A and B are shown apart, each in its own frame.
Chain A
Amino acid sequence: EIVLTQSPATLSLSPGQRATLSCRASQSVSNYLSWYQQKPGQAPRLLIYDAFNRATGIPARFSGSGSGTDFTLIISSLEPEDFAVYYCQQRSNWPLSFGGGTKVEIK
């Protein structure tokens, strides 16, 4: 089973700042890595699929990069609505797996 490790667990930033979230896989997942955003009481929302492709309707301030075992989600300038928990997920191998999440909180 592929284990995804997200870091940091919590990121405390102010609106307008840049957020850099990391996801590391225990073995290569090629570029089969997605990112989701989840706000309290809501379902997750797909942000990025296959490492760098933005999902429909996702603002350009969200970008993904990486391949193999190391991936990054960047939010270039945090908006108030971006404070949430972010999960990565791999689809390279079954069983599918999610990372433990990074909470982006207001500093």
Chain B
Amino acid sequence: QVQLVESGGDLVKPGGSLRLSCAASGFSFSEEYMIWIRQAPGKGLEWVSYISNDGNGIKYADSVRGRFTISRDNARNSLYLQMNSLRVEDTAVYYCARCRGLGNGAYFDYWGQGTRVTVSS
């Protein structure tokens, strides 16, 4: 069955860095577009970054562009999010999810359980 397992969340000071990972199994990872979505405490959902199956197509939300970098290693069935210059407002649970509906944006049929990032001094 499809599984997505995030890791790497932690407590970090403003201005710090963190790298999130998402280990995928149960499907052909190299064929699928993937996305990071976050949810601040008590708030709604916000897409963060999206990557094509081969890594050549990437999008970022305005709120993270220039600070976050999405990448993937298809040989390791893994998705990553390098987060630099972290701000208090980046505090959230970060989910990785599999994308569907390519050709017009995406919707998300499988989600990981999330990893918590807290940015605080």
Instruction: List chain A positions with a Cβ less than 8 A from chain B.
Output: 32, 34, 36, 42-46, 49-50, 55-56, 87, 89-101
Contact = CB atoms under 8 A, between A and B. Distances in A.
A99 B50 CA distance: 19
B61 interface: yes
B95 interface: yes
Interface of B: 44-47, 50, 59, 61-62, 95, 100-101, 104-114
B109 A91 contact: no
Contacts of B110: 46
Contacts of A55: 109
25 contacts: A32-B101, A32-B104, A32-B105, A36-B45, A43-B111, A43-B113, A44-B45, A44-B95, A44-B111, A45-B111, A46-B107, A49-B101, A49-B107, A49-B109, A50-B101, A87-B44, A91-B104, A92-B105, A93-B105, A94-B105, A95-B61, A96-B47, A98-B44, A100-B44, A101-B44
Contacts of B50: 96
B116 to A, nearest CB: 11
A93 B113 CA distance: 27
Given A43-B95, A43-B114, A46-B107, A98 B46 contact: yes
A45 B104 CA distance: 20
B106 A96 contact: yes
Contacts of B100: 49
